[in-house]
């Protein structure tokens, strides 16, 4: 086994990264990658090591970014400005100003709109007979939710969804999509003059270190929030594939709806749509007996942590009744995903509607996986959808 293949996107698209992660957990749980296409990095593959780094803001900083960047690309331009790339206490200050938009109460307020959007997409898919579950159902649902929270008018939603899909399909950051960013510049400027009850207004009047956020910080936070929704869509699509590959688990859920919360947690663990999280050493520390110095990069491979044999029994099995299931798919510590509650509600609504409407889903072609180190999941999932007769 060659750990250097972890940094090759072809492994994640066409190979078996889980086999390599399994080998590394036993033989190289902390592995040093020499400089090459990427700066020198330490790969972390064990659950307890990943969790300890995520919870240790004193020795590991987010300031330089949370994703691997190619050599020569520099640090994350959002360092010290965004929810993802700030450390306490600035992170707490920024998070407190938008967190109310992602509470359970807010999710319940959005639930009827989410249900209506879900039904419309499913009805359209059933009428057509075939669809791409990634692009026709999962991604539009995720984008619609964050757009509503950000204050995008319903009339603009199809346009923003098209731009977002274009950006995701090219694999480029949303900031590289000119039309999308010009749209958010206009929305930001409007909210500066006409604040509303939405996320863009929260950011337009938000502070960091006691100072109003700069326009750059507002826009990069908008981009981060939009981009983060990709993970929720990927989890839903990969969860659907998991059920198609394990039809017995779908029957279990259909026959016992009490399994729904556990099913959602198992989807999150089993699919682990965020492939990695990067941290930079801030102070000298020891990890698994290795001395780490300030400036060194540490990569936490979440799909590996979530299949660690020391934590999860039969980790490669998709089991909606799994207990306990303390996965790291949504992070841990102060930077746990702010949209975690919304993502869970979104998944519950989709699964419930599929069951309530007795919609049968079958593969209509081979799934295609993403060629990415940042996110794990499906580029395409062609399916046939139809309503099955029932009492």
Long-range contacts of 49-52 (CB under 8 A, 24+ apart): 49/287, 49/288, 49/300, 49/305, 50/300, 50/301, 50/302, 50/305, 50/328, 51/305, 51/328, 51/332, 52/287
Per-residue confidence band for 176, with pLDDT thresholds at 50, 70 and 90: low
- C-beta neighbour count of 17 within 10 angstroms: 20
Joined together, the tokens standing for residue 115 give: 């249900």
The residue-averaged pLDDT of 33-50 equals 97
Per-residue confidence band for 69, with pLDDT thresholds at 50, 70 and 90: very high
* CATH number belonging to the domain at 3-132+229-387, selected among 1.10.630.10, 2.30.30.230, 1.10.620.20, 3.40.190.10: 1.10.630.10
Beta bridge partners of 284: none
- C-beta neighbour count of 48 within 10 angstroms: 14
Name the more confident of 31 and 110: 31
The residue-averaged pLDDT of 161-166 equals 82
Where are the alpha helices (H) located in the chain, listed in sequence order?
Answer: 9-14, 17-27, 47-54, 90-98, 104-128, 139-150, 157-170, 178-193, 199-204, 215-245, 247-255, 260-271, 302-305, 340-356
Average pLDDT, the chain: 93
Longest dimension (CA), the chain: 65
Query: Which candidate, 352, 320, 325, 351, places its Cα nearest to that of 248?
Result: 320
Rounded to whole angstroms, the Cα distance separating 77 from 168 reads 19
Per-residue confidence band for 126, with pLDDT thresholds at 50, 70 and 90: very high
**pLDDT tens readout for residues 304-356:** 999 999 999 999 999 999 999 999 999 999 999 999 999 999 999 999 999 99
**pLDDT tens readout for residues 190-247:** 999 999 999 999 999 999 988 999 999 999 999 888 888 888 899 999 999 999 999 9
The residue-averaged pLDDT of 289-306 equals 98
The residue-averaged pLDDT of 167-194 equals 82
Rounded to whole angstroms, the Cα distance separating 43 from 142 reads 30
User: In this predicted structure, what is the pLDDT of residue 181?
Assistant: 87
Joined together, the tokens standing for residue 177 give: 């999509």
The b-or-e profile of 326-339 (16+ CB within 10 A means b, else e) is: ebbbbbbebbebbb
Place of tokens 């950051």: 173
The residue-averaged pLDDT of 274-298 equals 97
HSE toward the beta carbon, residue 129, CA cutoff 13 A = 0
Per-residue confidence band for 170, with pLDDT thresholds at 50, 70 and 90: low
The answer to which of 24-28, 36-40, 163-167, 236-240 has the lowest mean pLDDT is 163-167
What proportion of the chain, given as a percentage, has pLDDT over 70? Answer: 97
User: In this predicted structure, what is the pLDDT of residue 298?
Assistant: 98
Rounded to whole angstroms, the Cα distance separating 359 from 31 reads 46
Beta bridge partners of 279: 298
């Amino acid at each position: 086994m060659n750990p250097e293949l972890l940094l090759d996107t072809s492994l994640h698209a066409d190979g078996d990264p889980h086999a390599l992660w399994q080998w590394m957990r036993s033989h190289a749980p902390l592995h040093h990658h020499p400089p090459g296409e990427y700066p020198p990095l330490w790969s972390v593959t064990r659950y307890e090591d990943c969790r300890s780094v995520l919870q240790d803001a004193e020795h590991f900083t987010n300031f330089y970014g949370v994703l691997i960047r190619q050599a020569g690309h520099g640090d994350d331009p959002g360092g010290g400005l965004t929810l993802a790339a700030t450390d306490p206490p600035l992170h707490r200050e920024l998070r407190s100003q938008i967190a109310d938009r992602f509470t359970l109460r807010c999710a319940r307020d959005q639930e009827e709109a989410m249900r209506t959007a879900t039904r419309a997409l499913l009805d359209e898919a059933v009428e057509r007979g075939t669809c791409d579950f990634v692009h026709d159902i999962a991604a539009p649902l995720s984008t619609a939710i964050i757009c509503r929270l950000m204050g995008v008018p319903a009339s603009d939603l199809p346009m923003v969804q098209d731009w977002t899909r274009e950006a995701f399909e090219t694999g480029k950051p949303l900031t590289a999509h000119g039309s999308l960013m010009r749209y958010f510049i206009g929305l930001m400027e409007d909210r500066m003059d006409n604040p509303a009850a939405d996320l863009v207004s929260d950011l337009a009047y938000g502070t960091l270190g006691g100072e109003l956020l700069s326009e750059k910080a507002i826009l990069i936070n908008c981009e981060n929030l939009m981009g983060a929704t990709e993970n929720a869509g990927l989890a839903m699509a990969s969860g659907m594939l998991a059920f198609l590959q394990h039809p017995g688990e779908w029957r279990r859920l259909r026959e016992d709806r009490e399994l729904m919360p556990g099913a959602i947690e198992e989807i999150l663990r089993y699919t682990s749509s965020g492939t990695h999280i990067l941290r930079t050493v801030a102070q000298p520390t020891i990890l698994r007996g290795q001395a780490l110095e300030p400036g060194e990069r540490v990569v936490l491979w979440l799909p590996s942590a979530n299949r660690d044999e020391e934590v999860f029994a039969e980790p490669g099995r998709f089991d909606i009744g799994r207990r306990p299931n303390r996965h790291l798919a949504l992070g841990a510590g102060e930077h746990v995903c702010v949209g975690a509650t919304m993502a869970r509600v979104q998944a519950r609504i989709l699964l419930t509607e599929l069951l309530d409407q007795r919609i049968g889903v079958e593969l209509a072609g081979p799934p295609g996986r993403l060629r990415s180190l940042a996110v794990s999941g499906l580029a395409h999932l062609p399916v046939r959808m139809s309503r099955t007769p029932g009492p």
